[in-house]
């Protein structure tokens, strides 16, 4: 296949950020002349995933992490049943969006990938925490370990999800990384870790794939809300109780506009007075951002879409959030770090809409150009013989 790219990434997990980055990367590559498709290997939490002995984590999970996996799975199952029709409608909306992503045939098991890998010119590990050692299934697909040695491997916006690795895990990662031609990481910490694990391997900090598409491209993919009257959008991925008092103060300052709430799952309940968008799929999620008057969020991808659509926003760091590095890194790149607010400071915050978007837009354009340049060079083999 000429100029063809097969992408392995985390998707089919009904997570807005995961599905949107899985859509964005092949779209950005197609705009640059590549036949780019996702290799349809579902995330291990997907109902389409099938466990076999080869699915066992190559990096054994610690007992506490195994327990967390079991508890989370049980809670999700119960919550989905309680959510009923809302959960079914949300799942259908996610399925419809995934239907827009160019994909190979289904590889429901890692055994399938090993037995009959799809033919591509280049293979690309995509974005998200694809190299997180705490994943509850084998990491081998995400290190492209189903391919012959001579296959061309690159990575774009990959994340380890942790700042350091234990010596045995680091040794295994080093063996996997040795077969890559170049690695783009989503966070600067990932670049540093890659360089420690594989000295000499070209590694660069690049934008999340969602930022490779501009606002017009995302509007074309969006489904606008049914009632597009003025509203403040709250995307509370990680709970931050102090967020809601700020939301009410801001809507009052904006003339008493409505509050719409989108959450990480269909279950649960929106606070009183907020319209609950529990059934929105990824396209509806983008549409809510595109049509909002202002945005409050505790999410990296909420921050991404607020900036892409140039909405007045605050990106809140919840008290329980362990690492806000992605939000901080993006907003520092755009010189908008003053819009990143710890939850403890919300009570004293007087919200305002004063953002100078033109300089931020120029900085985003420059970062996008650098990221696309890395991607072009990596796919065309420019790093293959790098010292």
CA–CA separation, 104 and 6 (whole Å):
8
Rounded Cα distance between 180 and 3, Å, is: 18
Structure tokens at 304: 């991404």
User: pTM of the predicted model, to two decimals?
Assistant: 0.92
Average of per-residue pLDDT across 77-105? 83
Query: What residues pair up with 155 in beta bridges, in sequence order?
Result: 125, 183
Fold of 4-213+367-380: Rossmann fold (3.40.50)
Mean pLDDT of 51-78: 65
Paired residues of 342 in beta bridges = 317
Region class of 78: left (phi > 0), else alpha (psi between -120 and 50), else beta:
alpha
Distance CA 312, CA 352 (A): 8
What's the distance, Cα to Cα, between the start and end of the chain in Å? Answer: 29
Runs of H (alpha helix) within the chain: 16-30, 63-83, 85-98, 110-115, 167-177, 188-197, 215-221, 242-253, 282-290, 300-308, 325-333, 357-380
| Contacting residues for 78 by C-beta, under 8 A, at least 6 apart | none
Q: How far is CA 313 from CA 101, 255, 321, 347, in A?
A: 29, 17, 19, 16
Identify the residue whose tokens are 């074309």: 220
297-355 pLDDT, tens digit per residue, is: 999 999 999 999 999 999 999 887 767 788 888 999 999 999 999 999 999 999 988 89
pLDDT digits (tens, 9 = 90+) for 36-50: 999 999 999 999 999
Q: Distance between CA atoms of 339 and 332, rounded to whole angstroms?
A: 10
> Is 224-355 the same fold as 4-213+367-380?
yes
Helix (H) or strand (E) holding 275, with range, is: strand 274-276
Check whether 1 has a pLDDT greater than 80: no
pLDDT at 325: 81
* 8 A C-beta contact, residue 245 and residue 339: no
Architecture of domain 224-355: 3-Layer(aba) Sandwich (3.40)
- Enumerate long-range contacts of 348-357, CB under 8 Å, 24 or more apart: 349/246, 349/314, 351/246, 351/249, 351/250, 351/253, 351/294, 351/312, 351/314, 352/312, 353/294, 353/312, 354/312, 355/310, 355/312, 355/313, 357/310
For 231-286, what is each residue's pLDDT tens digit?
A: 999 999 888 888 999 999 999 999 999 999 998 876 677 788 888 998 999 999 99
DSSP state of 98: H
Residue 108: is its pLDDT beyond 90? Answer: yes
pLDDT band at 59; cut points 50, 70, 90 = low
How do residues 111-147 score in pLDDT, each as one tens digit? 999 999 999 999 999 999 999 998 999 999 999 999 9
Q: Is 347 exposed, middle or buried (0-12, 13-18, 19+ CB in 10 A)?
A: exposed
Q: What is the pLDDT of residue 80?
A: 53
Closest C-alpha to 3, from 382, 376, 385, 384: 376
Domain ranges of the chain: 4-213+367-380, 224-355
Report which DSSP code applies to 86.
H
Report angle CA 281, 30, 125 to the nearest 5 degrees.
75
Confirm if 317 and 342 have CB atoms less than 8 A apart.
yes
């Amino acid at each position: 296949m000429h100029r063809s790219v097969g992408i392995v990434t985390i998707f089919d997990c009904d997570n807005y950020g995961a599905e949107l980055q899985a859509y964005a990367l092949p779209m950005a590559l197609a705009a640059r002349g590549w036949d780019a498709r996702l290799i349809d290997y579902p995330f291990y939490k997907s109902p389409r995933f099938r466990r076999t002995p080869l699915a066992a984590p190559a990096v054994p999970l610690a007992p506490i992490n195994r327990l967390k996996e079991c508890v989370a799975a049980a809670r999700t199952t119960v919550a989905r049943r309680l959510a009923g029709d809302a959960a079914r409608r949300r799942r259908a909306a996610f399925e419809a969006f995934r239907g827009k992503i160019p994909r190979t045939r289904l590889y429901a098991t890692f055994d399938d990938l090993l037995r009959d890998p799809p033919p591509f010119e280049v293979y690309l590990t995509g974005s998200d925490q694809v190299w997180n050692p705490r994943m509850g299934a084998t990491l081998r697909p995400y290190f492209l370990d189903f391919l012959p040695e001579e296959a061309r491997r690159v990575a774009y916006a990959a994340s380890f999800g942790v700042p350091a690795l234990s010596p045995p895990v680091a040794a295994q990662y080093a063996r996997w990384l040795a077969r890559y031609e170049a690695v783009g990481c989503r966070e600067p910490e990932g670049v540093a870790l890659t360089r420690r694990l594989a000295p000499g391997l070209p590694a660069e900090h690049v934008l999340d794939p969602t930022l490779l598409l501009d606002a017009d491209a995302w509007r074309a993919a969006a489904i606008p809300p049914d009632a597009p009257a003025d509203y403040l959008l709250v995307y509370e991925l990680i709970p931050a109780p102090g967020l809601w008092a700020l939301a009410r103060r801001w809507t009052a300052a904006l003339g008493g506009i409505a509050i719409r709430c989108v959450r990480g799952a269909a279950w649960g309940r929106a606070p009183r007075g907020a319209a609950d968008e529990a059934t929105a799929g990824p396209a509806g999620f983008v549409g809510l951002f595109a049509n909002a008057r202002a945005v409050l969020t505790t999410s990296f991808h909420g921050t991404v879409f607020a900036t892409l659509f140039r909405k007045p926003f605050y990106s809140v760091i919840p008290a329980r959030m362990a690492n806000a590095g992605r939000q901080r890194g993006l907003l520092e790149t755009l010189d908008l770090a003053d819009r990143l607010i710890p939850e403890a400071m919300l009570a004293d915050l007087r919200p305002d809409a004063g953002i100078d978007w033109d300089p931020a837009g120029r900085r985003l354009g420059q970062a996008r150009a650098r990221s696309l340049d890395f991607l072009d060079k990596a796919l065309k083999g420019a790093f293959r013989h790098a010292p």
